A and B are shown apart, each in its own frame.
Chain A
Amino acid sequence: MPLQPYMKLLSTDDHLIEHPLVWSDRLPAKYREAGPRIVEKPRPSGGAPSEVWAYEGRFYPYIGLNAVAGKKPEEFGTEPTRYDEMIPGCYNPKARLADMDIDGVWGAINFPSFPRFAGTVFLEGEDKELARLCVQAWNDYVLDEWCATAPDRFIPMVILPLWDVDACVAEIHRTAAKGAKAIAFPENPVPLGLPSFHTDHWDKVLSAAEEIDLPLCLHFGTSGKPPITAPEAPMAVMITLFGCNSMYATADIIFSPLLHRHPKLKIGLSEGGIGWIPYLLERMDMTWERHRFYQNVNQDVRPSDLFRKHFHGCFIDDFFGVENRRHIGVDHITWECDYPHSDSYWPHSRKRAAETFVDVPDEEVHRMVELNVRRLYNFPA
Protein backbone atom coordinates (compact mmCIF):
# COMPACT_ATOMS: atom_id res chain seq x y z
CA MET A 1 0.00 0.00 0.00
CA PRO A 2 1.60 3.32 -1.09
CA LEU A 3 0.25 5.27 1.91
CA GLN A 4 2.62 3.80 4.48
CA PRO A 5 2.00 3.88 8.25
CA TYR A 6 5.04 6.14 8.79
CA MET A 7 3.55 8.86 6.55
CA LYS A 8 1.75 11.52 8.56
CA LEU A 9 -1.30 13.00 6.89
CA LEU A 10 -1.24 16.80 7.10
CA SER A 11 -4.41 18.52 5.92
CA THR A 12 -4.08 21.94 4.33
CA ASP A 13 -7.77 22.70 4.65
CA ASP A 14 -9.68 21.99 7.83
CA HIS A 15 -11.99 24.33 9.70
CA LEU A 16 -12.56 25.32 13.30
CA ILE A 17 -15.68 26.72 14.90
CA GLU A 18 -14.98 29.52 17.35
CA HIS A 19 -16.28 28.89 20.85
CA PRO A 20 -18.65 31.55 22.29
CA LEU A 21 -15.99 33.34 24.36
CA VAL A 22 -13.27 33.81 21.73
CA TRP A 23 -13.87 37.57 21.53
CA SER A 24 -15.43 38.36 24.90
CA ASP A 25 -12.41 36.76 26.60
CA ARG A 26 -10.01 39.00 24.70
CA LEU A 27 -11.62 42.34 23.81
CA PRO A 28 -11.30 45.36 26.14
CA ALA A 29 -14.36 45.75 28.41
CA LYS A 30 -15.74 48.69 26.44
CA TYR A 31 -15.99 46.54 23.31
CA ARG A 32 -17.44 43.35 24.78
CA GLU A 33 -21.05 44.27 24.06
CA ALA A 34 -20.42 45.29 20.46
CA GLY A 35 -17.85 42.59 19.71
CA PRO A 36 -18.86 39.14 18.48
CA ARG A 37 -20.81 37.17 21.08
CA ILE A 38 -23.32 34.35 20.95
CA VAL A 39 -26.97 35.17 21.60
CA GLU A 40 -30.05 32.98 21.49
CA LYS A 41 -32.87 33.46 18.99
CA PRO A 42 -36.14 31.57 18.91
CA ARG A 43 -36.44 29.11 16.06
CA PRO A 44 -39.41 29.49 13.74
CA SER A 45 -39.91 25.74 14.03
CA GLY A 46 -39.88 25.85 17.85
CA GLY A 47 -37.62 23.81 20.12
CA ALA A 48 -34.39 24.94 21.70
CA PRO A 49 -33.43 28.45 20.59
CA SER A 50 -30.76 28.94 17.95
CA GLU A 51 -27.37 30.28 18.89
CA VAL A 52 -26.25 33.06 16.55
CA TRP A 53 -23.38 35.54 16.56
CA ALA A 54 -24.20 39.17 17.33
CA TYR A 55 -21.61 41.72 16.16
CA GLU A 56 -22.26 45.47 16.37
CA GLY A 57 -25.98 44.76 16.50
CA ARG A 58 -25.94 42.61 13.39
CA PHE A 59 -26.86 38.95 13.66
CA TYR A 60 -25.02 36.20 11.83
CA PRO A 61 -26.61 32.75 11.71
CA TYR A 62 -23.93 30.43 12.94
CA ILE A 63 -23.59 27.94 10.22
CA GLY A 64 -25.98 26.23 7.88
CA LEU A 65 -26.52 22.75 9.12
CA ASN A 66 -27.87 21.63 5.81
CA ALA A 67 -27.77 18.00 6.69
CA VAL A 68 -29.78 17.26 3.61
CA ALA A 69 -29.05 13.55 3.38
CA GLY A 70 -31.97 11.59 4.70
CA LYS A 71 -34.14 14.65 5.23
CA LYS A 72 -37.42 15.50 3.58
CA PRO A 73 -37.36 18.58 1.34
CA GLU A 74 -39.51 20.52 3.79
CA GLU A 75 -36.83 19.99 6.42
CA PHE A 76 -34.09 21.54 4.29
CA GLY A 77 -32.83 24.97 5.17
CA THR A 78 -30.07 27.00 6.71
CA GLU A 79 -31.39 26.93 10.18
CA PRO A 80 -28.91 28.35 12.60
CA THR A 81 -27.86 25.89 15.15
CA ARG A 82 -26.56 25.26 18.62
CA TYR A 83 -23.20 24.09 19.84
CA ASP A 84 -24.79 21.01 21.34
CA GLU A 85 -25.74 19.86 17.83
CA MET A 86 -22.12 20.01 16.68
CA ILE A 87 -19.51 17.37 17.31
CA PRO A 88 -17.13 18.72 20.00
CA GLY A 89 -14.18 18.46 17.63
CA CYS A 90 -15.59 21.50 15.84
CA TYR A 91 -14.73 23.89 18.68
CA ASN A 92 -12.68 21.97 21.25
CA PRO A 93 -9.05 21.41 20.23
CA LYS A 94 -8.59 18.39 22.49
CA ALA A 95 -11.69 16.73 21.04
CA ARG A 96 -10.38 17.67 17.60
CA LEU A 97 -7.12 15.85 18.24
CA ALA A 98 -9.03 12.77 19.36
CA ASP A 99 -11.09 12.88 16.16
CA MET A 100 -7.93 13.33 14.09
CA ASP A 101 -6.42 10.28 15.79
CA ILE A 102 -9.47 8.20 14.92
CA ASP A 103 -9.29 9.54 11.38
CA GLY A 104 -5.59 8.74 10.96
CA VAL A 105 -4.75 12.42 10.40
CA TRP A 106 -1.71 13.89 12.11
CA GLY A 107 -1.92 17.65 11.50
CA ALA A 108 -3.97 20.43 9.94
CA ILE A 109 -4.34 24.06 9.00
CA ASN A 110 -7.69 25.39 10.20
CA PHE A 111 -9.70 28.16 8.56
CA PRO A 112 -11.99 30.47 10.56
CA SER A 113 -15.77 30.10 10.53
CA PHE A 114 -17.59 33.12 11.97
CA PRO A 115 -14.99 35.56 10.53
CA ARG A 116 -15.40 33.70 7.20
CA PHE A 117 -12.52 31.86 5.65
CA ALA A 118 -10.31 34.95 5.18
CA GLY A 119 -11.61 37.09 8.03
CA THR A 120 -13.68 39.23 5.69
CA VAL A 121 -16.60 39.59 8.12
CA PHE A 122 -14.58 42.30 9.85
CA LEU A 123 -14.63 44.40 6.68
CA GLU A 124 -18.28 44.96 7.64
CA GLY A 125 -17.32 46.45 11.01
CA GLU A 126 -18.40 50.05 11.45
CA ASP A 127 -15.91 50.65 14.25
CA LYS A 128 -12.61 49.81 12.61
CA GLU A 129 -10.68 49.88 15.87
CA LEU A 130 -13.02 47.22 17.21
CA ALA A 131 -12.67 45.30 13.95
CA ARG A 132 -8.86 45.43 14.20
CA LEU A 133 -9.03 44.16 17.79
CA CYS A 134 -11.39 41.39 16.65
CA VAL A 135 -8.84 40.27 14.05
CA GLN A 136 -6.12 40.30 16.70
CA ALA A 137 -8.36 38.38 19.09
CA TRP A 138 -9.01 35.62 16.54
CA ASN A 139 -5.31 35.35 15.81
CA ASP A 140 -4.45 35.20 19.50
CA TYR A 141 -7.10 32.55 19.99
CA VAL A 142 -5.64 30.44 17.20
CA LEU A 143 -2.05 30.89 18.29
CA ASP A 144 -2.37 30.85 22.09
CA GLU A 145 -5.34 28.54 22.56
CA TRP A 146 -6.10 26.31 19.57
CA CYS A 147 -2.65 25.62 18.17
CA ALA A 148 -0.96 25.76 21.56
CA THR A 149 -2.89 22.59 22.43
CA ALA A 150 -0.66 20.66 20.02
CA PRO A 151 2.00 22.84 18.36
CA ASP A 152 3.39 19.86 16.48
CA ARG A 153 -0.02 19.08 14.94
CA PHE A 154 -1.86 22.36 14.34
CA ILE A 155 -0.35 24.68 11.73
CA PRO A 156 -1.22 28.25 12.75
CA MET A 157 -2.84 30.42 10.09
CA VAL A 158 -3.89 34.01 10.76
CA ILE A 159 -6.27 36.60 9.31
CA LEU A 160 -5.62 40.28 8.54
CA PRO A 161 -7.40 43.64 8.97
CA LEU A 162 -7.86 43.85 5.21
CA TRP A 163 -9.16 47.43 5.11
CA ASP A 164 -5.80 48.86 6.31
CA VAL A 165 -2.55 47.85 4.62
CA ASP A 166 -0.30 49.19 7.38
CA ALA A 167 -2.35 47.38 10.01
CA CYS A 168 -2.04 44.19 7.92
CA VAL A 169 1.73 44.53 7.89
CA ALA A 170 1.81 45.14 11.64
CA GLU A 171 -0.39 42.07 12.24
CA ILE A 172 1.79 39.89 10.03
CA HIS A 173 4.86 40.85 12.05
CA ARG A 174 3.05 40.53 15.38
CA THR A 175 1.65 37.07 14.64
CA ALA A 176 4.77 35.76 12.92
CA ALA A 177 6.66 36.54 16.11
CA LYS A 178 4.12 34.34 17.91
CA GLY A 179 4.51 31.45 15.48
CA ALA A 180 2.09 32.05 12.59
CA LYS A 181 2.86 29.88 9.56
CA ALA A 182 0.33 31.08 6.97
CA ILE A 183 -2.13 33.84 6.13
CA ALA A 184 -5.74 33.37 5.03
CA PHE A 185 -6.27 35.86 2.22
CA PRO A 186 -9.17 36.56 -0.19
CA GLU A 187 -8.97 34.74 -3.52
CA ASN A 188 -9.94 38.06 -5.15
CA PRO A 189 -10.29 41.30 -3.19
CA VAL A 190 -12.35 43.13 -5.82
CA PRO A 191 -15.85 41.75 -5.04
CA LEU A 192 -15.17 42.74 -1.43
CA GLY A 193 -14.73 46.38 -2.48
CA LEU A 194 -10.95 46.25 -2.16
CA PRO A 195 -8.27 47.03 -4.77
CA SER A 196 -7.28 44.24 -7.13
CA PHE A 197 -4.08 42.22 -7.43
CA HIS A 198 -3.32 44.28 -10.54
CA THR A 199 -2.68 47.40 -8.45
CA ASP A 200 0.22 48.15 -6.12
CA HIS A 201 -2.19 48.44 -3.18
CA TRP A 202 -1.13 45.15 -1.56
CA ASP A 203 2.60 45.48 -2.08
CA LYS A 204 3.53 46.19 1.53
CA VAL A 205 1.39 43.29 2.75
CA LEU A 206 2.78 40.87 0.21
CA SER A 207 6.35 42.01 0.85
CA ALA A 208 5.88 41.29 4.55
CA ALA A 209 4.45 37.82 3.80
CA GLU A 210 7.29 37.19 1.36
CA GLU A 211 10.03 38.34 3.72
CA ILE A 212 8.77 36.24 6.61
CA ASP A 213 7.90 33.37 4.27
CA LEU A 214 4.24 33.04 5.19
CA PRO A 215 2.22 31.51 2.34
CA LEU A 216 -1.12 33.06 1.43
CA CYS A 217 -3.95 30.51 1.62
CA LEU A 218 -6.71 31.39 -0.83
CA HIS A 219 -9.77 29.36 0.10
CA PHE A 220 -12.37 29.26 -2.62
CA GLY A 221 -15.27 31.54 -1.88
CA THR A 222 -13.24 34.11 0.06
CA SER A 223 -13.99 36.70 -2.61
CA GLY A 224 -17.60 36.50 -1.44
CA LYS A 225 -18.56 35.74 -5.03
CA PRO A 226 -19.86 32.19 -5.38
CA PRO A 227 -20.17 30.64 -8.84
CA ILE A 228 -23.93 31.09 -9.11
CA THR A 229 -25.20 30.97 -12.68
CA ALA A 230 -28.88 31.79 -12.13
CA PRO A 231 -31.12 32.45 -9.16
CA GLU A 232 -33.14 29.38 -10.11
CA ALA A 233 -30.15 27.11 -10.59
CA PRO A 234 -29.91 24.26 -8.09
CA MET A 235 -27.08 24.30 -5.60
CA ALA A 236 -25.53 21.42 -7.54
CA VAL A 237 -24.37 23.95 -10.15
CA MET A 238 -22.60 26.05 -7.56
CA ILE A 239 -21.10 23.10 -5.71
CA THR A 240 -19.81 21.64 -8.98
CA LEU A 241 -18.24 24.94 -9.97
CA PHE A 242 -16.60 25.83 -6.65
CA GLY A 243 -13.18 24.89 -8.03
CA CYS A 244 -13.61 27.47 -10.80
CA ASN A 245 -13.03 30.18 -8.21
CA SER A 246 -9.54 28.76 -7.74
CA MET A 247 -9.05 28.80 -11.51
CA TYR A 248 -10.11 32.47 -11.62
CA ALA A 249 -7.75 33.34 -8.78
CA THR A 250 -4.83 31.55 -10.41
CA ALA A 251 -5.23 33.22 -13.81
CA ASP A 252 -5.89 36.59 -12.19
CA ILE A 253 -2.70 36.46 -10.12
CA ILE A 254 -0.50 34.89 -12.81
CA PHE A 255 -1.32 37.63 -15.33
CA SER A 256 -0.93 40.38 -12.73
CA PRO A 257 2.38 42.03 -11.75
CA LEU A 258 2.07 40.52 -8.26
CA LEU A 259 4.41 37.55 -8.57
CA HIS A 260 7.01 39.54 -10.51
CA ARG A 261 7.15 42.08 -7.71
CA HIS A 262 7.14 39.38 -5.03
CA PRO A 263 9.30 36.60 -6.41
CA LYS A 264 9.41 34.62 -3.15
CA LEU A 265 5.68 34.69 -2.38
CA LYS A 266 3.97 31.29 -1.92
CA ILE A 267 0.28 30.74 -2.61
CA GLY A 268 -1.90 27.84 -1.54
CA LEU A 269 -5.21 27.20 -3.28
CA SER A 270 -7.48 25.75 -0.63
CA GLU A 271 -10.27 23.27 -1.36
CA GLY A 272 -10.22 23.97 -5.08
CA GLY A 273 -9.15 20.50 -6.21
CA ILE A 274 -6.25 19.91 -8.61
CA GLY A 275 -7.65 18.14 -11.68
CA TRP A 276 -8.15 21.43 -13.52
CA ILE A 277 -4.56 22.59 -13.13
CA PRO A 278 -3.01 20.92 -16.24
CA TYR A 279 -5.73 22.37 -18.45
CA LEU A 280 -5.36 25.87 -17.01
CA LEU A 281 -1.57 25.82 -17.34
CA GLU A 282 -1.85 24.80 -20.99
CA ARG A 283 -4.49 27.44 -21.63
CA MET A 284 -2.55 30.21 -19.87
CA ASP A 285 0.65 29.34 -21.74
CA MET A 286 -1.20 29.35 -25.06
CA THR A 287 -2.80 32.70 -24.25
CA TRP A 288 0.56 34.12 -23.21
CA GLU A 289 2.33 32.89 -26.33
CA ARG A 290 -0.27 34.31 -28.69
CA HIS A 291 -1.57 37.38 -26.93
CA ARG A 292 1.06 38.79 -24.64
CA PHE A 293 2.52 41.22 -27.16
CA TYR A 294 -0.30 43.72 -27.05
CA GLN A 295 -1.10 43.43 -23.35
CA ASN A 296 0.25 44.70 -20.08
CA VAL A 297 1.50 41.28 -19.00
CA ASN A 298 5.00 40.09 -18.25
CA GLN A 299 6.73 39.27 -21.54
CA ASP A 300 9.46 36.99 -20.20
CA VAL A 301 8.07 34.32 -17.89
CA ARG A 302 5.65 31.62 -18.99
CA PRO A 303 2.54 31.29 -16.81
CA SER A 304 3.20 27.59 -16.13
CA ASP A 305 6.68 28.46 -14.84
CA LEU A 306 5.20 31.08 -12.55
CA PHE A 307 2.64 28.59 -11.30
CA ARG A 308 5.29 26.03 -10.46
CA LYS A 309 7.39 28.61 -8.70
CA HIS A 310 4.63 30.00 -6.49
CA PHE A 311 1.48 27.87 -6.26
CA HIS A 312 0.31 24.69 -4.66
CA GLY A 313 -3.15 23.14 -4.67
CA CYS A 314 -4.95 20.58 -2.54
CA PHE A 315 -7.64 17.97 -2.91
CA ILE A 316 -9.95 15.72 -0.95
CA ASP A 317 -11.15 13.55 -3.79
CA ASP A 318 -9.53 14.05 -7.16
CA PHE A 319 -8.53 10.81 -8.85
CA PHE A 320 -8.06 12.60 -12.16
CA GLY A 321 -5.75 15.16 -10.58
CA VAL A 322 -3.69 12.48 -8.83
CA GLU A 323 -3.40 10.53 -12.08
CA ASN A 324 -2.14 13.68 -13.81
CA ARG A 325 0.10 14.75 -10.94
CA ARG A 326 3.24 14.95 -13.07
CA HIS A 327 1.57 17.54 -15.32
CA ILE A 328 0.94 19.60 -12.19
CA GLY A 329 4.17 18.87 -10.37
CA VAL A 330 4.08 16.47 -7.44
CA ASP A 331 5.72 19.09 -5.24
CA HIS A 332 2.75 21.42 -5.82
CA ILE A 333 0.09 19.08 -4.49
CA THR A 334 -1.10 18.73 -0.91
CA TRP A 335 -3.88 16.71 0.65
CA GLU A 336 -6.84 18.02 2.61
CA CYS A 337 -9.39 16.53 4.96
CA ASP A 338 -12.02 19.30 5.27
CA TYR A 339 -12.99 18.23 8.79
CA PRO A 340 -15.51 19.05 10.27
CA HIS A 341 -17.51 19.69 7.13
CA SER A 342 -19.65 16.79 6.04
CA ASP A 343 -17.66 16.65 2.79
CA SER A 344 -14.89 15.07 4.84
CA TYR A 345 -14.59 11.32 5.09
CA TRP A 346 -14.21 11.31 8.88
CA PRO A 347 -13.59 8.80 10.45
CA HIS A 348 -12.34 7.14 7.25
CA SER A 349 -10.07 9.87 5.84
CA ARG A 350 -6.90 7.81 5.96
CA LYS A 351 -8.57 4.83 4.34
CA ARG A 352 -9.99 7.06 1.62
CA ALA A 353 -6.60 8.65 1.03
CA ALA A 354 -5.06 5.17 0.75
CA GLU A 355 -7.60 4.33 -1.96
CA THR A 356 -6.85 7.57 -3.81
CA PHE A 357 -3.11 6.86 -3.82
CA VAL A 358 -3.32 3.16 -4.59
CA ASP A 359 -1.41 3.44 -7.90
CA VAL A 360 1.06 6.13 -6.83
CA PRO A 361 4.68 5.39 -5.86
CA ASP A 362 5.27 5.59 -2.09
CA GLU A 363 7.78 8.40 -2.38
CA GLU A 364 5.33 10.61 -4.30
CA VAL A 365 2.54 9.87 -1.83
CA HIS A 366 4.79 10.90 1.04
CA ARG A 367 5.51 14.22 -0.66
CA MET A 368 1.83 14.96 -1.30
CA VAL A 369 0.48 14.03 2.13
CA GLU A 370 3.27 15.31 4.36
CA LEU A 371 6.60 16.52 3.01
CA ASN A 372 5.25 19.26 0.73
CA VAL A 373 3.25 20.73 3.60
CA ARG A 374 6.25 20.70 5.93
CA ARG A 375 8.36 22.47 3.31
CA LEU A 376 5.75 25.00 2.13
CA TYR A 377 4.61 25.98 5.62
CA ASN A 378 7.97 25.73 7.38
CA PHE A 379 6.54 23.08 9.67
CA PRO A 380 9.33 20.63 10.40
CA ALA A 381 8.67 17.22 11.96
Chain B
Amino acid sequence: MHERHERPVGRRAEAERSDWTEQDLLTVDEALPRLLDGIDEVTGEIEATADPAERELLERRLEAMHLARTHLETQQEARRA
Protein backbone atom coordinates (compact mmCIF):
# COMPACT_ATOMS: atom_id res chain seq x y z
CA MET B 1 0.00 0.00 0.00
CA HIS B 2 1.30 3.44 -0.92
CA GLU B 3 1.92 5.93 1.80
CA ARG B 4 -0.31 8.97 1.45
CA HIS B 5 1.50 12.28 1.21
CA GLU B 6 -0.36 14.87 3.26
CA ARG B 7 1.82 17.81 2.32
CA PRO B 8 2.50 19.17 -1.13
CA VAL B 9 5.97 18.54 -2.40
CA GLY B 10 7.72 21.58 -3.76
CA ARG B 11 10.41 24.15 -3.29
CA ARG B 12 8.62 27.39 -4.03
CA ALA B 13 5.76 28.98 -2.20
CA GLU B 14 2.55 29.19 -4.19
CA ALA B 15 0.62 32.41 -4.54
CA GLU B 16 -2.68 32.33 -2.71
CA ARG B 17 -5.53 33.24 -5.00
CA SER B 18 -8.96 32.92 -3.51
CA ASP B 19 -10.76 33.56 -6.76
CA TRP B 20 -9.15 32.72 -10.05
CA THR B 21 -11.23 35.32 -11.88
CA GLU B 22 -9.15 37.91 -10.09
CA GLN B 23 -6.93 38.20 -13.07
CA ASP B 24 -3.51 39.68 -13.00
CA LEU B 25 -3.70 43.32 -14.08
CA LEU B 26 -0.95 45.27 -15.72
CA THR B 27 0.36 47.64 -13.07
CA VAL B 28 2.14 50.90 -13.73
CA ASP B 29 5.35 49.25 -12.58
CA GLU B 30 4.91 46.44 -15.10
CA ALA B 31 3.64 48.59 -17.93
CA LEU B 32 6.51 51.10 -17.90
CA PRO B 33 9.30 48.66 -18.82
CA ARG B 34 7.10 47.26 -21.59
CA LEU B 35 6.55 50.76 -22.88
CA LEU B 36 10.26 51.61 -22.74
CA ASP B 37 11.05 48.47 -24.73
CA GLY B 38 8.42 49.52 -27.24
CA ILE B 39 9.89 53.01 -27.51
CA ASP B 40 13.34 51.55 -28.23
CA GLU B 41 11.88 49.23 -30.83
CA VAL B 42 9.89 51.90 -32.66
CA THR B 43 12.86 54.29 -32.54
CA GLY B 44 14.94 51.60 -34.26
CA GLU B 45 12.21 51.00 -36.85
CA ILE B 46 12.06 54.72 -37.67
CA GLU B 47 15.81 54.78 -38.24
CA ALA B 48 15.59 51.73 -40.49
CA THR B 49 12.69 52.80 -42.69
CA ALA B 50 13.02 54.76 -45.90
CA ASP B 51 9.31 54.94 -46.71
CA PRO B 52 8.05 58.43 -45.72
CA ALA B 53 4.45 57.26 -45.13
CA GLU B 54 5.60 54.39 -42.92
CA ARG B 55 7.96 56.74 -41.15
CA GLU B 56 5.16 59.21 -40.43
CA LEU B 57 2.99 56.45 -38.95
CA LEU B 58 5.83 55.24 -36.74
CA GLU B 59 6.64 58.75 -35.58
CA ARG B 60 3.02 59.28 -34.58
CA ARG B 61 3.08 56.03 -32.62
CA LEU B 62 6.34 57.00 -30.96
CA GLU B 63 4.90 60.35 -29.93
CA ALA B 64 1.89 58.59 -28.35
CA MET B 65 4.22 56.21 -26.54
CA HIS B 66 6.28 59.06 -25.11
CA LEU B 67 3.09 60.74 -23.93
CA ALA B 68 1.95 57.53 -22.23
CA ARG B 69 5.41 57.17 -20.68
CA THR B 70 5.20 60.68 -19.21
CA HIS B 71 1.77 59.92 -17.72
CA LEU B 72 2.88 56.63 -16.19
CA GLU B 73 6.11 58.10 -14.80
CA THR B 74 4.17 60.97 -13.23
CA GLN B 75 1.74 58.50 -11.70
CA GLN B 76 4.58 56.34 -10.40
CA GLU B 77 6.37 59.32 -8.85
CA ALA B 78 3.17 60.60 -7.22
CA ARG B 79 2.56 57.22 -5.66
CA ARG B 80 6.10 56.96 -4.33
CA ALA B 81 6.11 60.50 -2.93
Contact = CB atoms under 8 A, between A and B. Distances in A.
B35 interface: yes
A63 B22 contact: yes
B47 interface: no
A101 B26 contact: no
Nearest to B30: A67
Nearest to A85: B27
Contacts of A85: 27-29, 79
> Which bucket holds chain A's interface residue count?
35 or more
Interface residues of B, number: 38
A299 interface: no
Interface in B21-75: 21-31, 34-35, 38, 41, 57, 61, 64-65, 67-68, 71-72, 75
A344 B29 CA distance: 15
Contacts of B10: 234
A342 B19 CA distance: 17
Interface stretch (A21-29, A72-80, A193-201, A365-373): A72-80
B38 A66 contact: no
B27 A64 contact: no
A104 B30 CA distance: 19
Interface string A60-89: 010111111100011011100100111110
23 contacts: A63-B22, A64-B19, A64-B22, A65-B24, A67-B29, A76-B15, A77-B15, A78-B16, A78-B19, A84-B75, A86-B25, A86-B27, A87-B31, A88-B71, A98-B68, A104-B61, A234-B14, A235-B14, A235-B17, A342-B25, A343-B23, A347-B65, A348-B41
Interface of B: 7-8, 10, 12-31, 34-35, 38, 41, 57, 61, 64-65, 67-68, 71-72, 75, 78-79
